[in-house]
Amino acid sequence: MREYLQFYIDGRWVDPAHPRTAEVVNPATEAVSGTISLGSAADVELAVAAARRAFASWSLTTREQRLDLLRAIQAEYARRQPELGEAITEEMGAPASLANGFHVGLGAGHLQTAIEILKDYRFEEQRGATMIAREPIGVCALITPWNWPMNQTCVKIFPALATGCTMILKPPQLAPYSAQILAEILDAAGVPAGVFNMIQGAGSVIGTALSTHPDVDMVSFTGSEPVGVQISRDAAQTVKRVGLELGGKSPFIVLDDDDLTANVTGATAGMMGNSGQTCSAGSRLLVPAARIDEATAAAAAAADAVSVGDPTGNVAMGPVVSMAQYDIIQDYIGRGLDGGAELVAGGLGRPEGLDRGWFVKPTVFVTTNDTIIAREEIFGPVLVIIGYDDIDHAIEIANDTEFGLAGYVNGRDTELCRAVAKRMRTGWISINGGFDFHAPFGGYKRSGNGREWGEFGFDEYVEIKSMLGYG
C-alpha cells in the first residue's frame, strides 16, 4: 500500500491545509493500491506565493546554473527509473515493459532534449539596433492527465525550468504516484525552494484555483476538450496565457503498395499500445478500398494477436485506467454495433479469462467516416478502418474531422508520403514511423493551440521583449 499524504511546497514536504484523502485503485485488480491527499485552495495559495517568491531569483539564474540543475535531475531520474516504471504500472495499468520502456523513457527523453536546447537557446537576439529578449513568463500552473504521466509532466516541467519559470504541478488523481516520485527526484536534485511545487487533488478544486489565480501567469494543460475550454474561460479573467494539448481522432493512411499488410499490422498494434489511451493514436486507419478485405484480415489478425492481461507480467496490453473509462469504451463499442459498423475483431465485454480489472478486447471495426465511432475520440483500444478510392479521397477523409493533432502515412513511395503529409491538417505527422524529440508537438483545430517538445516547447514559456535603440 502506498501512502502519499504530503504536498511539495516551497522546497519542503508539507501536510495539506485541510486534511482530506482519497483512495487510488489499481485498474488491473480493482483493489485499492494506496492513498493520497486531496488539496484545497489554501494549499494553492501557499504554493503560488512560494513560486512567486522563487521567481525573483530563479528567473535571473544563468544558463549554466540551469544546465547544472537539469543534469543533477537527470542523474536522480536515472537512479529512480525502476520505481517510476513500477508506479506507472500500478496507477494506470501500462504493462511493465511499456512503463519501464517508453513511459519512463519519454520523460528521460524530454529531460535530455531540454538540456540540448538550453545549451544554445537564444534568450537574446539583436536585430539592427533592437535587442529582442526571451524572458521567462513567470509562475506557471501545469495540469496533466493520467495516460502518459511521465511524458506529460516532463514535457512541461523541464522547458519551464530551463527558461527560468517557477511552477505548480497538479497531477491527475488517477495517476498520482509517478508524479510524487518525480517531485522526490526534483527535491533530491536540489531544485531551489519554491521553483517547483506539487499539489495533488481534484481538478475542479486545485485546477480551478490555479486557473483563476491572479498571481499565476500561465496555465499549460493537457487533457480533454471540455476541461481545456473551462480552463480557458477561468484564465481569461486574468488574461493568462493558456497552452492546450487536447484530444484527437488521428488518421493513419496506408498507401497502396506491397507493404500494405505489414503497415496495417504495425498500425493496428500501435493503436492497441497503452490500451489505446494515447491522444495522438492513429485511430482511423485509411486503406485503399479495393484492398479493404486484405487490410481488414491483417488488422483483425494483429488485434487478435495482442496479449491482454496482468500488466506486471509479459503482456502487450494491460487494462484501461478506470471503470469510468471502461464504461465509456464499452458504450462506444455498443454504438458501433448498433450503428451497423462491421466488427472484425474484439467487441463487447472483457477478454476471455479476465473477469477482474478494466480489461478491454482489442477491437477493430470497418465503417465509414460519418459514424460516431469514426468521429469521436474513444480513448481505448478501438480501431476503425475506412476505405478510400484514391489519394484525394484519402486526404478528404483524413481532414474531415474536428480534430487535428496527429497523422500518419506509411508507404514505399517517399514522394507520395511527403505529398500526403503536406496536405494533412494536423500538427504532427509521422511518415513511416518517424519519431523526433526535437519536433514540435501540438494540435490544429480542436486538438489544442500549443506546441510542446524541443525548442518550440521552450517558446511556450517565454515572453518576448523588444528593447529599441539598444545599440
| Residues annotated as catalytic (active site), given as ranges | 245, 279
* Binding to ligand NAP in span 250-279, by CB under 6 A: 279
d(CA 387, CA 393): 9
Q: Under a CB-based contact definition with an 8 Å cutoff, are residues 177 and 24 in contact?
A: yes
d(CA 37, CA 390): 55
Nearer to ligand NAP, 166 or 222 (CB): 222
Binding of residue 94 to ligand NAP (CB under 6 A)? no
Q: What is the DSSP letter of 389?
A: S
CB atoms near residue 287 (< 10 Å): 28
What's the closest the beta carbon of residue 226 comes to ligand NAP, in angstroms?
Answer: 7
Binding of residue 223 to ligand NAP (CB under 6 A)? yes
Region binding ligand NAP by CB under 6 A among candidate stretches 205-213, 235-243, 386-394, 431-439: 205-213
Q: Which of 11, 85, 138, 247 binds ligand NAP (CB under 6 A)?
A: 247
Nearer to ligand NAP, 100 or 200 (CB): 200
Binding of residue 113 to ligand NAP (CB under 6 A)? no
Nearer to ligand NAP, 121 or 221 (CB): 221
Give alpha helix (H) positions in 372-413.
372-375, 391-399
What's the closest the beta carbon of residue 151 comes to ligand NAP, in angstroms?
Answer: 8
CB atoms near residue 50 (< 10 Å): 23
Q: Hey, what's the cell of 263?
A: 503497415
Binding mask 445-464 toward ligand NAP (x if CB under 6 A, else -) reads ---x----------------
Q: Under a CB-based contact definition with an 8 Å cutoff, are residues 265 and 433 in contact?
A: no
Q: Hey, what's the cell of 395?
A: 486526404
What's the closest the beta carbon of residue 43 comes to ligand NAP, in angstroms?
Answer: 14
Give the residue among 171, 177, 174 at the shortest CA–CA distance from 152: 171
Instruction: Give the CA distances from residue 221 to residues 71, 88, 125, 232, 287, in Å, rounded to whole numbers and listed in that order.
Output: 26, 20, 29, 10, 34
Q: Under a CB-based contact definition with an 8 Å cutoff, are residues 306 and 276 in contact?
A: no
* Coil/strand/helix, residue 92: helix
d(CA 303, CA 363): 7
* Binding to ligand NAP in span 138-157, by CB under 6 A: 143-147, 152
Q: Under a CB-based contact definition with an 8 Å cutoff, are residues 373 and 335 in contact?
A: yes
Nearer to ligand NAP, 234 or 455 (CB): 234
Backbone angles phi, psi at 406, to 5 degrees: -125, 170
Binding of residue 43 to ligand NAP (CB under 6 A)? no
Q: Which of 43, 245, 310, 460 binds ligand NAP (CB under 6 A)?
A: 245
Binding of residue 427 to ligand NAP (CB under 6 A)? no
What's the closest the beta carbon of residue 227 comes to ligand NAP, in angstroms?
Answer: 3
Site size for ligand NAP (CB under 6 A): 29
Binding mask 160-189 toward ligand NAP (x if CB under 6 A, else -) reads ----------x-xx----------------
Binding of residue 365 to ligand NAP (CB under 6 A)? no
Backbone angles phi, psi at 203, to 5 degrees: -60, -40
* Cα-Cα-Cα-Cα dihedral sign, residues 142, 147, 149, 150: negative
What's the closest the beta carbon of residue 173 comes to ligand NAP, in angstroms?
Answer: 4
Q: Which of 49, 115, 188, 202 binds ligand NAP (CB under 6 A)?
A: 202
* Coil/strand/helix, residue 380: coil
What's the closest the beta carbon of residue 405 comes to ligand NAP, in angstroms?
Answer: 6
Q: Would you tell me which residues interact with ligand NAP (CB under 6 A)?
A: 143-147, 152, 170, 172-173, 202-204, 207-208, 211, 222-224, 227, 230-231, 245-247, 279, 377, 379, 405, 448
